[in-house]
Amino acid sequence: MNWPPQGVSAVVDYWLQSNRVKPCLTADSTLAGRGASTRPMPHDLPAPLVATLATRGIEELYSHQDLAFRAARDALLPGGPRAVVVATPTASGKSLCFHLPVLTRLAEDPDAHALYIYPTKALARDQEAGLLSMMKDAGIQKGAIVYDGDTPGDARRSARDKSSILITNPDMIHAGILPHHTGFARILQNLRYVVVDELHAYRGVFGSHVGNVLRRLKRIANFHGSDPVFLSATATIANPKEHAARLFGLEEEQVRLVAESGAPTGSRRFFSYNPPVVNAELGIRASYMKQAVGLAADLVRA
């Protein structure tokens, strides 16, 4: 076979014929791909948002995006869920699951506000750009800004006085917002949604601290006359509903889970690789790290 192989399939064929790799492959299985499961755009999604999505090549929603949108809308009604958690694989379009209900509410209610919480500043800045772009294209004349330790003083004043969406992190809520909540009364008394992305990041001691911060946030929002709904997204974890309920201080019955992804997936092939024996007398095998580097190098060269 010509070296280097061209493409992943050619690399796999090479491995299956190679005296270096083939003896070490102990299992080989393939998961078939799956097509997209889609739904028509919800009737209550504002027309400018529908048009904006169309310019991005989105004519329909994945089934989990549709379910999340409807659950978030139901949550604003009496007896609706108090939290919605979306637990679908990476790159399945989870951001739209909370952007769409938030922007729909802002388009309907000029007084509505939302709070976006990310575990790191970098994630917050990254999401700010995408959110602002969508709002601009949809003609939603509402302010959205990152509010963290790097935000200049004049921008902080504008955020408190004019913005409809604050994008922040747990530390800033704890140290910069809740102790000075009277200065955020305009936002807190009309807080409709609290978006908590990367839910799986809030675990252990850090997760316990964040859980207490979110309970304080709920209590202070209630003091100002609002009862916000939590919208959250997480990578696939074993217990997303239980995790969300504990983090937000809710009963599991108050959490709506969306876990069945409608996004398409390609076929995936899995190999089990056992490094070769380098010392039969002692039963020592080659370093799995070095072996992994060698296999990865084959893929990079292809």
Q: What is the set of domains in the chain, with CATH numbers?
A: 8-32+276-301 (no CATH), 38-258 (3.40.50.300)
Contacts of 109 (CB under 8 A, 6+ apart): 190, 192
User: For 93, phi and psi rounded to 5 degrees?
Assistant: 85, 40
Q: Is 116 helix (H, G, I), strand (E, B) or coil?
A: strand
Q: The pTM is what?
A: 0.88
Strand partners, 85: 232, 257
Residue 198 pLDDT:
94
Q: Which amino acid is at 25?
A: L
Residue 1 pLDDT:
60
Q: How many CB atoms lie within 10 A of CB 282?
A: 8
CA nearest 241: which of 228, 252, 251?
Answer: 252
Residue 5 pLDDT:
75
Alpha helices in the chain (DSSP H): 8-17, 47-55, 63-74, 94-108, 121-138, 153-162, 170-172, 185-188, 204-223, 240-248, 288-301
Distance CA 106, CA 250 (A): 25
Distance CA 192, CA 180 (A): 20
Residue 68 pLDDT:
98
Residue 7 pLDDT:
86
Residue 285 pLDDT:
96
Ordered mean pLDDT values, 10 residues apiece, the chain (302 residues): 77 91 95 94 97 97 98 96 96 95 95 96 91 94 93 93 96 96 97 97 96 98 98 91 97 97 93 95 94 93 82
